């Protein structure tokens, strides 16, 4: 056995770097009892390396390629072409040729072979590289096979393969190519089998694509294929395509495309029996590899041959359950306005804080709502809450209920609604508007005590102290009085919207009435940054200095300039109050503004450029004026109606509940994030000690441990560092995944739909959350740091959490992909009087940066002008 070639049977799991992803999988497939794999061998990566190791021109060109970026398309094209030419002209070393010849004589040199590329960075769990390198079919004769091996090597440097590696962060120097030489089979039919449905991700639904001739026609998109769906040994769906063409092997080598006889074009490619037999083979292969597979198959004289199997890389992982029953999970990220993955420490803090039945998957959290869906009363509460939060989630859940996926329990009227139980508290709250300032004061006092007490703690004592303090955080966060306050305001908003629509024919009236309310910590944060701009505005030297700031120590440098000391004090005062915020703030590991104050600089400069002095006051007063004017107008109109005095009286009562209490809705989360930051600073001090002791490499490594694991490391000063490396790789994989709103224990992703008539044909639909119609330039912004806004722009982004609020003062409207009536962005948009539509699927792709758009905040859609 030579190290330059290995037969499929000789390949073992450890040899990825020798035979690449495809080769490794063929080696494994050949070992499965009862699975037919055409014979063959791999020319290992050592052969490729030996062929090019002495070639100085090749290495010089490769070095140049490594310096380029994805944008340098022309240079990539030119250098890649030269590298391919060199590889094609290089002579294959004699010992490599010798190894190839040996296998060919063993399998029969006169046979036809498929010659296929297998890169070391291919068919990996997080990057499929599918179709990046070349495949050649029906190659006959040793010379032709050797020539096509060189062609496969060269295909490592096609433009598309090079760019794909750049986009996925693979080093060209570290990716090598093995070549598979496999006996050709000439099938009457072939195709692809997915052991999980690639459209819905349902792991119990198997999907088969089938067409006549070689599979190349299907893979290259030349023909439509039949599609069969199999569930539990039963064919549940068949789509028979019109198959006009097929690719067949030619006697003398190579392939040709042939027309299919018209009376055969609409016949079913596989019989029912063959479909079920193939499905069983698929399940056997999936069980062997332990994950859903994408399998290439051929049918020859009633025998199925498997020519490839790779993991399906696009499936979202299923949240783990503790039994085999059906479960339904909803995304926490879509409710918390943060659909990015969280690091393990962030996940574990969230799990310690919440009483809900949470499950992890793909670096995100999901709530198991199975029990709520089973109980008729709890189900209604859940659907009502989802209707407010995210109508697409509500629609997906309705879909699941209609299918009877979760068995319903007998009616249980005794179960109290956790929130409606607060109505008896409403009277106490209404008569005491100062309750909000009392709740805020209680939270602030508690945080001050925490800051004092935590300073004296370290080591295991710190870990225990934080665990104890989380109980205090939960007491404040889930205080029934606290939730009763903002629930009262939310219920009052719903009441106003419903009654004003019924009595006066006005939609979403509560939006205007919610403008400029007191005690909204988040909207105050946006206005406070306008005040910081006012401090800096008179000092041109400071403004000029801030325009070139790169380093987070810039605050200390400021004092050199006229007005610098005042600027420094203003920014530090702002950070003292709001510096614990950042994008994705529910993940404790995210970098806070206090840790990276340069984040705020572009926003401050934008405020100086876009606004006059005292703008924060003007904005707040304008909103208050509009709200009070609206209130007066509604009361006047109501008094004209039958029973008008009574209607006006009830309405006035509801408006005062909204104005007194809706602002508090943002406070509990602010209190929680405040506490998280105190914990984080203390834990980073511990991490520094671990770095000094050589237990971890950098203090941020603790982010990749759960809180429990971190406690153990602090206690023992020991850690297997491979855990950190593995988690970092997993996190990179999770970043590429898009979390679903709703997923079942079958892995099926259920998508909801908006059901609305009478909208323009090309309307982009979402949830109306803040009234009004506005036209302007769309600014599609995915990272807050990249925001360059002009006054009057409309912000289009995937989601906004409180950290985005300082941008809201510069915009005229808001569009987000995630969100509902009561999520953060919607609340602040209403308070600032910005028309807003949220929950717009794929908004950042459908709307292009710079387009003029019209946002219909009352009706809930966007038009591109």
Q: What is the pLDDT of residues 228-286, one digit of tens each?
A: 999 999 999 998 888 778 888 777 777 878 878 888 888 888 999 999 999 999 999 99
pLDDT at residue 122 is higher than 70: no
CA distances from 666 to 3, 425, 661 (A): 65, 20, 10
User: What's the mean pLDDT in 447-467?
Assistant: 96
Look at residue 76 and give its three-state secondary structure: helix
pTM (predicted TM-score): 0.85
Spatial strand order of the sheet with 836-838 comes to: 764-765, 861-864, 852-856, 773-780, 793-797, 811-816, 836-838, 767-770
Selection from 359-363, 428-432, 766-770 with the highest mean pLDDT: 359-363
Selection from 316-325, 420-429, 668-677, 827-836 with the highest mean pLDDT: 668-677
Where does the pLDDT of residue 357 fall: very low under 50, low under 70, confident under 90, or very high at 90 and above? Answer: very high
pLDDT of residue 132: 55
Where does the pLDDT of residue 420 fall: very low under 50, low under 70, confident under 90, or very high at 90 and above? Answer: very low
User: What's the mean pLDDT in 385-397?
Assistant: 87
pLDDT at residue 421 is higher than 50: no
pLDDT at residue 414 is higher than 80: no
Where does the pLDDT of residue 689 fall: very low under 50, low under 70, confident under 90, or very high at 90 and above? Answer: very high
Which residue, among 818, 819, 797, has the nearest Cα to 808 in the 3D structure?
A: 797
Where does the pLDDT of residue 124 fall: very low under 50, low under 70, confident under 90, or very high at 90 and above? Answer: very low
pLDDT at residue 204 is higher than 70: yes
User: What's the mean pLDDT in 824-844?
Assistant: 90
CA distances from 250 to 114, 264, 380, 508, 658 (A): 13, 21, 64, 69, 78
pLDDT at residue 418 is higher than 60: no
Average pLDDT of the chain to the nearest whole number: 90
Where does the pLDDT of residue 695 fall: very low under 50, low under 70, confident under 90, or very high at 90 and above? Answer: very high
Where does the pLDDT of residue 668 fall: very low under 50, low under 70, confident under 90, or very high at 90 and above? Answer: very high
Inter-residue contact 847 to 797 (CB < 8 Å): no
pLDDT > 90 fraction of the chain, expressed in percent and rounded: 66
pLDDT of residue 747: 94
pLDDT tens across 474-498, in order?
Answer: 999 999 999 899 889 989 999 999 9
pLDDT > 70 fraction of the chain, expressed in percent and rounded: 96
pLDDT at residue 582 is higher than 90: yes
pLDDT at residue 125 is higher than 70: no
pLDDT tens across 78-101, in order?
Answer: 999 999 999 999 999 999 999 999
pLDDT at residue 423 is higher than 70: no
Where does the pLDDT of residue 198 fall: very low under 50, low under 70, confident under 90, or very high at 90 and above? Answer: confident
Structural domains of the chain, ranges and CATH numbers in brackets:
1-184 (3.30.1490.20), 479-677 (no CATH), 754-864 (3.50.30.10)
- Identify the residue whose tokens are 């990566």: 45
pLDDT of residue 412: 57
pLDDT at residue 768 is higher than 60: yes
pLDDT of residue 221: 66
pLDDT at residue 126 is higher than 60: no
pLDDT of residue 415: 45
φ, ψ of residue 36 in degrees (nearest 5): -90, 120
State yes or no: is 824 an active-site residue. yes
Inter-residue contact 118 to 161 (CB < 8 Å): no
pLDDT at residue 123 is higher than 50: no
Convert 625-659 to b/e letters by CB count within 10 Å (16 or more is b).
eebeebbeebbebbeeeeeeeebbeebeebbebbb
pLDDT tens across 362-376, in order?
Answer: 999 999 999 999 999
The 10 Å Cβ neighbour count of residue 390 is: 27
**Geometric angle at alpha carbon 104, from 102 and 108, rounded to 5°:** 125
pLDDT tens across 789-812, in order?
Answer: 888 899 999 988 888 999 998 899
pLDDT at residue 161 is higher than 50: yes
Which residue, among 3, 1, 39, 42, has the nearest Cα to 19 in the 3D structure?
A: 42
Give dist(CA 515, CA 593) in Å, integer.
27
Residue that wins the pLDDT comparison between 131 and 599: 599
pLDDT of residue 217: 65
User: What's the mean pLDDT in 492-508?
Assistant: 93
Give dist(CA 611, CA 331) in Å, integer.
39
Spatial strand order of the sheet with 112-119 comes to: 5-7, 40-43, 177-183, 112-119, 135-140
What secondary structure letter does DSSP report for 326?
A: -
User: What's the mean pLDDT in 751-775?
Assistant: 88
User: What's the mean pLDDT in 195-216?
Assistant: 89
Residue that wins the pLDDT comparison between 76 and 125: 76
pLDDT of residue 1: 57
pLDDT of residue 220: 64
pLDDT tens across 705-719, in order?
Answer: 999 999 999 999 999
pLDDT of residue 698: 96
Where does the pLDDT of residue 30 fall: very low under 50, low under 70, confident under 90, or very high at 90 and above? Answer: very high
Q: 148, 327, 824, 856: which one is catalytic?
A: 824
User: What's the mean pLDDT in 652-680?
Assistant: 95
Residue that wins the pLDDT comparison between 850 and 69: 850
């Amino acid at each position: 056995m030579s190290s330059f070639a290995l037969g499929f049977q000789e390949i073992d799991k450890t040899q990825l770097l020798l035979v690449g992803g495809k080769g490794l999988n063929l080696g494994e497939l050949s070992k499965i009892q009862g699975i037919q794999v055409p014979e063959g061998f791999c020319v290992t990566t050592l052969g490729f390396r030996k062929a090019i190791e002495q070639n100085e021109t090749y290495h010089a060109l490769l070095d140049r390629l490594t310096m380029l970026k994805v944008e340098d398309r022309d240079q990539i094209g030119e250098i890649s072409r030269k590298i391919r030419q060199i590889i094609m002209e290089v002579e294959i070393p004699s010992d490599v040729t010798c190894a190839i010849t040996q296998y060919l004589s063993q399998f029969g040199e006169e046979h036809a072979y498929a010659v296929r590329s297998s890169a070391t960075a291919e068919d990996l769990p997080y990057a499929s590289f599918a179709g990046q390198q070349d495949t050649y079919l029906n190659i006959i004769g040793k010379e032709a096979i050797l020539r096509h091996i060189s062609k496969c090597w060269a295909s490592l440097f096609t433009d598309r393969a090079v760019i794909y590696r750049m986009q996925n962060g693979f080093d060209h120097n570290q990716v090598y190519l093995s070549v598979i030489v496999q006996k050709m089979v000439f099938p009457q039919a072939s195709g692809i089998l997915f052991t999980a449905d690639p459209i819905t991700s349902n792991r119990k639904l198997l999907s088969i694509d089938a067409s006549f001739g070689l599979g190349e026609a299907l893979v290259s998109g030349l023909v439509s294929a039949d599609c069969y769906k199999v569930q539990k040994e039963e064919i549940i769906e068949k789509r028979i395509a019109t198959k006009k063409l097929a690719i067949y092997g030619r006697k003398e080598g190579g392939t040709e495309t042939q027309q299919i006889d018209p009376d055969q074009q609409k016949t079913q490619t596989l019989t029912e029996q063959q479909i079920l037999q193939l499905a069983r083979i698929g399940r056997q292969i999936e069980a062997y590899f332990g994950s859903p597979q994408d399998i290439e198959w051929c049918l020859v004289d009633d025998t199925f041959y498997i020519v490839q199997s790779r993991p399906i890389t696009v499936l979202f992982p299923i949240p783990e359950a503790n039994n085999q029953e059906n479960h339904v999970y909803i995304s926490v990220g879509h409710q918390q306005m943060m659909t990015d993955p969280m690091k393990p420490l962030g996940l574990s803090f969230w799990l310690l804080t919440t009483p809900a039945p949470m499950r992890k998957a793909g670096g995100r959290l999901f709530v198991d709502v199975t029990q709520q869906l089973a109980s008729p009363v709890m189900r209604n509460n859940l659907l009502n809450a989802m209707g407010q939060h995210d109508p697409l989630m509500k629609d997906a859940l309705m879909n699941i209920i209609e299918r009877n996926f979760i068995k319903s329990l007998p009616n249980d009227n005794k179960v109290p609604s956790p929130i409606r139980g607060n109505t008896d508290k409403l009277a106490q709250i209404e008569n005491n508007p100062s309750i909000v300032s009392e709740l805020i004061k209680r939270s602030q006092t508690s945080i001050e005590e925490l800051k004092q007490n935590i300073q004296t703690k370290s080591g295991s004592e710190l870990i225990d102290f934080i665990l104890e303090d989380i109980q205090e955080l939960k007491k404040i966060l889930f205080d029934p009085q606290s939730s009763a306050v903002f629930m009262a305001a939310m219920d009052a908003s719903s009441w106003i919207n419903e009654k004003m629509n019924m009595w006066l024919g006005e939609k979403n009236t509560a939006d205007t009435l919610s403008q400029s309310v007191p005690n909204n910590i988040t909207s105050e944060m946006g206005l406070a940054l306008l005040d910081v701009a006012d401090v800096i505005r008179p000092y041109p030297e400071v403004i000029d200095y801030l325009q070139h700031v790169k380093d987070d120590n810039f605050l200390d440098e400021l004092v050199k300039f006229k007005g610098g000391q005042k600027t420094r004090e203003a920014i530090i005062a702002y950070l003292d109050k709001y510096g614990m915020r950042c994008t994705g703030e529910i993940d404790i590991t995210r970098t806070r503004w206090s840790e990276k104050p340069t984040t705020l600089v572009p926003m401050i400069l934008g405020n100086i450029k876009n606004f006059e002095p005292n703008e924060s006051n003007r904005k707040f007063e304008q909103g208050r004026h509009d709200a009070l004017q609206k209130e007066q107008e509604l009361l006047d109109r109501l008094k004209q109606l039958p029973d008008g005095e009574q209607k006006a009286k009830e309405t006035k009562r509801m408006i005062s509940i909204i104005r007194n209490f809706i602002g508090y809705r943002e406070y509990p989360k602010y209190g929680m994030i405040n506490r998280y930051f105190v914990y984080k600073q203390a834990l980073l001090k511990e991490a520094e000690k671990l770095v000094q002791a050589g237990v971890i490499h950098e203090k941020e490594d603790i982010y990749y441990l759960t809180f429990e694991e971190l406690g153990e490391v602090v206690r023992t000063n020991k850690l297997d560092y491979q855990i950190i490396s593995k988690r970092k790789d997993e996190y990179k994989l999770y970043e590429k995944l898009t979390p679903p709103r709703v997923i079942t224990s079958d892995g099926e992703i259920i998508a909801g739909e908006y059901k609305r008539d009478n909208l323009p044909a090309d309307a982009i639909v979402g949830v109306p959350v803040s009234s009004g119609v506005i036209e302007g330039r769309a600014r599609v912004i995915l990272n807050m740091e990249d925001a360059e806004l002009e006054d009057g722009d409309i912000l289009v982004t995937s989601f906004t959490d409180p950290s985005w609020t300082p941008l809201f003062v510069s915009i005229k409207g808001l569009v987000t992909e995630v969100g509902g009536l009561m999520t953060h962005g919607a609340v602040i948009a209403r308070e600032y009087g910005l028309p807003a539509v949220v929950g717009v699927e794929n908004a950042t792709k459908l709307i292009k940066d710079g387009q003029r758009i019209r946002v219909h905040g009352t009706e809930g859609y966007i038009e591109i002008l």
